[in-house]
Structure 1
């Protein structure tokens, strides 16, 4: 199937005229060539419609990106290219350790994806068929990971920014991304690219090879892809080197923070009042060891700022983690008869990725600390205030499980926590297509079946085994009796043997599967005065399955601590297994009302309906209708109304409860200034001083009581392509989308704000430490909110023309976000709770600027071409804070490239520079400690690259 462009489905006969396509340099352009009149032009199918028709070019330009345009875009991946579209919202990318991408890449159109830009309301297709869901470090996902699709198999991409549930089924509420695979050809196509930042880090290397051969009735394509990226450290960029949140109290460091009852006013050790007390914790002075006997206290001091400040961001943390992937794709085609074609295809892709965090920030004690119930007896081998250090028995101090002692320390000897993923994607598919005669007209049909599987093996290195730590700190006799036990020193330097004994590595896996089968037919019922009345009908079966197998040790209860604690520092989650299947039928009708009349050029209508029957939520019918009116050549008025439908995903339904850490801003910091839900929180409390840089411990879980969500979307547009000015095109489109019973989770900041401002039932999801105010746990779960409403305007202006010295192209592509409202029912009764995000960036990884845009200026000569691109991200709000204003500034990224070609691009060499002016993301207090929204901006800085490609 040859797919030409992305069309606004219900009104495809006229609604897509002058939608932007991509120029050679990867920017939106409009093809203003006159429509062809030759009926022999091959019928094609356009994304957003199932109906094949002659010469789709007469409908106007479409939003497409070809393989050559991808190569010349300067993008490092498909996800990188799509995420730069002005209509794209926060989307998961491969950046850093502060997010939840874990090496995955998503596309989130209209900001309508799920939590943190997962993109689960965007339907990603490959040649019009579904791709298997992603997997992740902490369970499977419910969106397509673009990094599981090998680059060399991609021939182009189509973007439909319109709801298309009636055409394609669930998940197409925000739009459709259709990735076209390489089609039969003879020869070899290859390209290699290398790039690096001007700081000497973040190096990238890629290579793609495609070999094609036609052999009579048969054809064969084999492709291979390779990509590798090197890391960038947070410490190597001024923006990310240290958190913006001021340190107002002494935090955790490798020198520890000790609260040890019995040391204050101790006559034997000669300590002062309050020494090692709750309000005056002590820290190790450093060095090889501590003083013996009564001199032990001399090795410690009362911790204070600034001397005991410690920057966890400088501890080898990745701002952008390394990743490597390779993939293969093969397709065999055979013309069985003159009317029937067969194709068989197979795909394999493997990705490895890595995120490095600071070492474990241990916080243990008897009746204090995050993990309680530990004890350190007076005769423990490394208790500096005990008998093993020369303290007489009568003066020796022990710290019992029923005592309020506490030790906080950064376990640098254990090493940086390191999450590693190995993801394998496998897909096999086969299809038949052909044609037959019906009603005296030619009809096309196709049948298709595929099986896909995505699997991950995940490792989390350098955690801590609490049971081993309990033994190593406890009774010498108990430790001696336990196999391999090594007494541990938490009061001073730790040996390699000690670190090895408490070190823990977790291993888990999860996978998703997709079984998919479709049958489609399209043709002409009969001819109307204005043209053919075309029909498309089809049936689809799909089965989705997900299985998550977390590490059993991580989820096991501690042998020695209370039932409230598990064996390790690993984040627990319960095993998950779920599946659903569905049957769908659809029909689409294209109706030409009139054409070439004296009063108007044309009017076309399109109607579509689809019925979906899910094993989980039952059946649902969706409809779509559109119209395109041309009063005269060069002017198109278009509009669509579309109903959307999305059943709860396996993840949303069945995800087992899992521990996690949220970024969030706690309104109760500093005591909350009288806020209702902050009653009892001490004025000295600051969440930034707890956990890792203030990350909030929490639990996420699925909800089997979820209902499906539905949507209504309206789009109205105008496209102007005046014949008097060839190459000039202007499109303006308004969209309005309302999602009912929207499946979503409130962010940590939203939950904390509701609790602080309203108290009562809103605080049921937040558990705090009664003495310190620190958040011990926050519960977040998927639920049906009242609705999500978004609206805005897209506009594209383009001028493309030839001169005696080459072809010049200029384009401006912009998007304005008018509103993005989440409306939630009020559990306390009363008016709904409305959160309008448009123009705001005061929540972590959730930036919603009102304005975004792209612009480019290109020149193409006989053997040389150049392009300059600019990408604009408008300003937004920031959380109120003490270190900067409450705004996140607008930024412009500028890229440039020059290319040299030989023999009409049979060989091409190009050099380029992304972010020419080394613009860094605007500082964001809401996104501390990384200090910027990693799913909206790029902190890589200036990046230089070279690429070479050949076609033989």
Structure 2
């Protein structure tokens, strides 16, 4: 791809609006609850009919959702300025590490919300005010991709800590999806869309029916969404980034091709020194003289993105039902059910095999190492994902005198997630054989046995076969010849490629009893109170069926974890000054106080008491000043506390690797693999052991202090103008961090450069043999990962504890600013709007006692926020026609360290000076027409055309060399941009 800059049209529009209106919050901000048929509870308070005091609630109504041009809720929320760092695991980033992708702990390619850039853990997601079951292997986010857009009446967003109202998780804010309950008739929609650069054809349809009667109402709906895959080849995405100023990575890190390489050393590695390449053909009876000497140690290579999807094929069905019914004049009931089934399929490239051909294989080549690599391109591997999402709630309301009301509500939510992947059969954690020095050791894996060339017919030719040889011979495998370029048999392919079938089940039950009403009349209005009790039980477990780490199929359960939480809360709304006692300069003054005590028992007990104070002051009718202070927290996800055995490295596991971890070749801080042979980047490998997964029940909740101050100005002299500003400041202590796969390279590089690290307590170099032996004996130990020979405890040079730790503290502040101005020209109604979030600081203290480091606008694989994100644009309405142009802006930032540049010879070297990552500006267009006053079939019909990223802006280029699955580098930062390109969609609506 070319390194295209932002187009002149989108840049000019963005700069114009940014200059005119500064930077901002959602254009749909409201200071009072939306109109409804009855008093409702707005997000951020437990008191009916009141808006939260001290905080604005930002609302996206059904009309705004439809006008966004987005097909799904996940796509809509991703573009919100306050949702920094893209949320969790967007579907176009399925190759990332275990914390950010469907290939890791996010099993089904779900999408989360990340308010303030604090991570999905710190954003509480509700549906009709009720909690939703968590998603992912760690249960660390709520998957909003399972919420149908057709069911949503509005989305309410509170950008402030709210544990005083909701308890755990409401640190960065709350996103509450309010479902439709007031609808008369039938609303239908059909949408077809596609990406103009190929792939991703999409069809969506919905039908929602509602009916009301004197004592009740009901809404019933269905939504279907089907999207085709987008492959890397559809976007010219490949590993050679040299045309964009990056590195030609396949030359250095993909030493594997359809024809085999033979390495100079005894160990095969993706970046090893290739001695020979094998010629095309059957690969039998070869001699060294028939091999081709490799030039520069590179050998055969391949495109690591070949056969990969950047967007999967995905299909979703959603059903929902909501109802309200009066039982008597003083008793009513309300409830609803919803169900979503989502199925997806990813193409995940080809299996590359690294190994050594033993002398027992009839294709062994005398006179060379026979350490080889080869790409098995006979089969394009795939990953199938599936999720069943359930939700139900039922409540009864009792009018108990005056305006007092008792509300008793129970809810249940469940997510059943499944992922089935095709993977190389490169380990054996289930079978054991006698070791050479006594005892037992892991048996050879299926690939090794396929290479051995032994069976029950020829094992007798070996006078004293080893236990491993006898084990493999008993399998009667067909011999694998890696030197052949001819198609492999189905039998050999089944020996090389296995499966992993992983399922996780999580649910939450919640019951709430709440009483609220007016305590007394004050001169400024009614003093209101809400008190309540809340109980919930959360649960998550899983199971795994696999053969890619065994010979025979294995079933292993994941330990179940559960948590029981009991809460009590109270909230006052105190109007000190109102219409009846207002004074000049004091038109209104309201105070609020909320407090909640939460006690949890289960794996990782905790208690927390959190207050919140709010103030709303109006010196004049057109100006509202707000302020709030409160504490909030979120408990560690239950899987973070669970440290039982899990049989895959993406969960709780202990493993070691020969080629993944490197250090300077002259270091004395760690013992290198000898002989110390530099790779293409000039670094030398050491044997590193990873202890990953949960940290045990010692983890503590994260704790936050937040205060805000803001204003909203609607000048009477300029009708249609609204200006708003909201300053926020927070500090979070006991922040949960872990060493992720994407961070590890930078952490190690910093340690070897300085001799220390903020994560020093998680790093053990040249460990004691007894400590390593204890990890070998741990039930979580799954042995060698990747190429190379097996190791003994005394050969392990480092232990890296990649577990969750209450290590960090975070300080941040910023401003939400917003503006909109609507005016009528006589030709039609125009509205100019702008909204966004400007961060002033984002500082991380990596460990207690260390200094705070500025992370704002600094690229890291874990996703630090950029300084500024905004949406601005212009809408036009005239009769049945409407047009909206929206510019989305993501500020530029920089990679201070951890990115790669090519040296004079083209080899990758880490940057020594900061590299700028350009801003990203896209233009969205939406055109709608309703057939008003038309009879017949067109009555109640409408048509809409949306063009997203109309100027087809490419994401800003960045070369981090960041790879986890395979060795495919990402050429953009998926946390702040998407690669899908221009999308066009046509929508037809019809009401009956």
TM-score of the alignment, normalized to the shorter chain, above 0.5: yes
Report the Cα offset of residue 818 of structure 1: 1.8
Report the equivalent of 1:824: 846
- 2:380 is aligned with 1:416: yes
Report 1:617-696 matches (<5 A).
617-654=605-642, 656=644, 658-660=648-650, 672=664, 677=669, 680=672, 684-686=678-680
CA contact (8 A) 1:29 1:798 kept: no
Tell me, yes or no, if the aligned pair for 2:168 and 2:635 is still in contact at 8 Å.
yes
Q: Name the SS for the 1:591 alignment partner.
A: strand
After superposition, the Cα gap between the structure-2 partners of 1:672 and 1:630, relative to the gap in structure 1 and judged at 3 Å, is farther
1:460 and 2:413 aligned: no
Point out the more displaced range, 311-320 or 736-745. 311-320
- Separation in 2, partners of 1:82, 1:203: 21
What is the 5 A alignment of 1:702-781?
702-747=695-740, 748-749=743-744, 751-759=747-755, 761=760, 764=763, 778-781=800-803
Corresponding residue number in structure 1 for 2:27: 28
Q: Are residues 30 and 477 of structure 1, via their aligned partners in 2, closer, same or farther at CA, if it must alter by over 3 Å? A: closer
Partner of 1:474: 452
Which of residues 903, 914, 917 is equivalent to 1:888? 917
**Cα deviations across residues 72-106 of structure 1 (Å, max 9, x unaligned)?**
10113111111211111121222132233422011
Identify if the C-alpha distance between structure 1 residues 927 and 592 changes in structure 2 by more than 3 Å, giving closer, same or farther. farther
Q: For each residue in 1:219-240, what CA deviation from the matched residue of structure 2 results, as whole angstroms up to 9, or x when unmatched?
A: 3322111111112122232455
What are the Cα deviations for residues 500-540 of structure 1, in whole angstroms up to 9, with x where unaligned?
33321121211101111111121110011111111011111
Equivalent residue, structure 2, for 1:604:
590
C-alpha distance in structure 2 between counterparts of 1:730 and 1:278, whole Å: 60
Partner of 2:314: 323
Tell me, what secondary structure is at the counterpart of 1:858?
strand
Corresponding residue pairs, total: 852
CA contact (8 A) 2:28 2:60 kept: no
For residue 470 of structure 1, report the CA deviation from its aligned partner: 2.6
Residue 431 of structure 1 pairs with residue 405 of structure 2: no
Determine if contact 1:685/1:774 at 8 Å carries over to the other structure.
no
Which residue of structure 2 lines up, in the alignment, with residue 310 of structure 1?
301
Distance (whole Å) between structure 1 residues aligned to residue 839 and residue 816 of structure 2: 9
User: Structure 1: how far apart are the matches of 2:278 and 2:678?
Assistant: 24
1:797 matched to 2:834? The reply is no
2-side partners of 1:813 and 1:528: how far apart?
A: 37
2:888 pairs with one of 871, 876, 881: 871
Which residues of structure 1 form unaligned runs of 5+?
1-17, 114-118, 264-276, 366-374, 386-395, 560-566
Equivalent of 1:918 in 952, 974, 977: 952
Residues 145 and 29 of structure 1: is their aligned pair in 2 closer, same or farther, counting only changes over 3 Å? Answer: closer
8 Å CA contact retained: 2:499, 2:546 = no
**Deviation of residue 763 (structure 1)?**
7.5
Match of 1:852 among 869, 891, 901: 869
Which has the higher relative contact order, 1 or 2, with Cα contacts under 8 A spaced 6 or more apart? 2
Distance 1:940 1:552, change over 3 A: closer
* Map 1:186-201 → 2, pairs under 5 A: 186-201=184-199
Give matches, 1:461-540, under 5 Å.
Answer: 461-464=422-425, 467-478=445-456, 482=474, 485-493=477-485, 494-497=487-490, 498-540=492-534
CA contact (8 A) 2:199 2:234 kept: no
3-state SS of the aligned residue for 2:649? strand
CA spacing shift, 1:555–1:608, aligned 2, 3 Å: farther
Q: Secondary structure of the residue that 1:940 maps to in structure 2?
A: coil
Residue of structure 2 equivalent to 1:130: 131
Deviates more, 1:613-622 or 1:124-133: 613-622
Question: Which of 354, 362, 381 is residue 362 of structure 2 equivalent to?
Answer: 381
Matches for 1:132-171 after TM superposition, within 5 Å: 132-135=133-136, 139-171=137-169
Equivalent residue, structure 2, for 1:861: 878
Conservation of the 8 A alpha-carbon contact between 2:841 and 2:854: yes
Q: Distance in 2 between matches of 1:774 and 1:651?
A: 28
Q: Distance in 2 between matches of 1:207 and 1:908?
A: 14
Partner of 2:10: none
Structure 2: distance between partners of 1:817 and 1:340: 48
Matched, 1:594 2:577: yes
Q: Distance in 1 between matches of 2:426 and 2:310?
A: 27
Rounded to whole Å, the distance in 1 between the matches of 2:80 and 2:263 is 53
Query: Are residue 106 (structure 1) and residue 92 (structure 2) matched?
Result: no
Aligned to 1:84: 79
1:839 equivalenced with 2:857 (yes/no): yes
Give the structure 1 partner of residue 931 of structure 2. 902
Relative to 1, partners in 2 of residues 1:425 and 1:187: Cα closer, same or farther, differing over 3 Å?
A: same
CA 1:865–1:309 in structure 2 vs 1: closer, same or farther (change >3 Å)?
Answer: farther
The 3 A distance-change label for structure 1 pair 951 and 279 is closer
Q: Alignment partner for residue 229 of structure 1, among 188, 213, 227?
A: 227
Measure the CA separation in 2 of the matches of 1:57 and 1:780. Answer: 41
CA 1:851/1:686 → structure 2, altered by over 3 Å: closer, same or farther? Answer: farther
Identify if the C-alpha distance between structure 1 residues 689 and 492 changes in structure 2 by more than 3 Å, giving closer, same or farther: farther
Q: Distance in 2 between matches of 1:742 and 1:511?
A: 27
Q: Distance in 2 between matches of 1:262 and 1:647?
A: 48
Sort the Cα spacing of 1:59 and 1:141 in 2 relative to 1 into closer, same or farther, 3 A.
closer
Distance 1:282 1:732, change over 3 A: same
Give the conservation status (yes or no) of the 8 Å contact 1:735–1:791.
Answer: yes
Distance 1:229 1:546 in 2: 30
TM-superposed CA distance for 1:488, in Å, is: 0.9
- The alignment partner of 1:44 has SS state of coil
Q: 1 CA distance for matches of 2:455 and 2:788?
A: 36
Alignment of 1:54-65 (within 5 A): 62-65=57-60
* Whole-Å separation in 2 of the counterparts to 1:948 and 1:690: 60
For residues 816 and 523 of structure 1, the distance between their equivalents in structure 2, rounded to whole angstroms, comes to: 38
1:759, 1:668 → 2: CA distance? 20
- Cα distance in 1, alignment partners of residues 231 and 690 from structure 2: 25
Q: Is the 8 A contact 2:261 2:300 kept in 1?
A: no
- Alignment correspondent of 2:4: none
Asked if structure 2 preserves the Cα contact closer than 8 Å seen for 1:703 and 1:783, the reply is no
CA deviations 1:707-742 (Å, max 9, x no partner) are 122110011112221111011111111111111111
User: 1:667·1:753 contact (CA, 8 Å) conserved in 2?
Assistant: no
Q: CA deviation at 1:309?
A: 5.5
Selected match of 1:815 from 837, 841, 847 = 837
8 Å Cα contact 1:697/1:775 also seen in 2? no
The C-alpha deviation readout for 1:242-262, integer Å capped at 9, x for no partner, is 454444647222322223789
- Corresponding residue number in structure 1 for 2:806: 784
In structure 2, do the counterparts of structure 1 residues 82 and 791 end up closer, same or farther at CA, with 3 Å as the change threshold?
same
The answer to whether the 8 A contact 1:164-1:173 is kept is yes
**Counterpart residue number, 2:775:** none
Q: Verify: 1:806 aligned to 2:823, yes or no.
A: no
> Taking structure 1 as reference, are residues 756 and 679 closer, same or farther at Cα in structure 2, changes over 3 Å only?
farther
Any conservation in 1 of the 2:24–2:836 contact (CA below 8 Å)?
no
1:52 counterpart SS class: coil
- TM-score norm. by structure 1 comes to 0.82
